[in-house]
Amino acid sequence: MENTIENSSPGMFKPALNYALIISVVMIIVSLIFYLMGHPTANVKVYLEYAIIIAGLSYAAIMFRNEFSGGFITYGRSLGFIVVTGLITGIILGIWTFIYLGIIAPEVMEMIKEQIIENAYATAYRFNPNISDAEIDTMVDIQLRFQKPGILAFMNVFGYTFQALIFGLIISIFVKRKNPDFV
Domain ranges of the chain: 12-104+154-178
pLDDT less than 70: residues of the chain: 1-10, 183
Q: CB neighbours (10 Å) of residue 170?
A: 14
Closest CA to 9 of 79, 67, 60, 88: 67
Given this model, what pLDDT does residue 3 score?
47
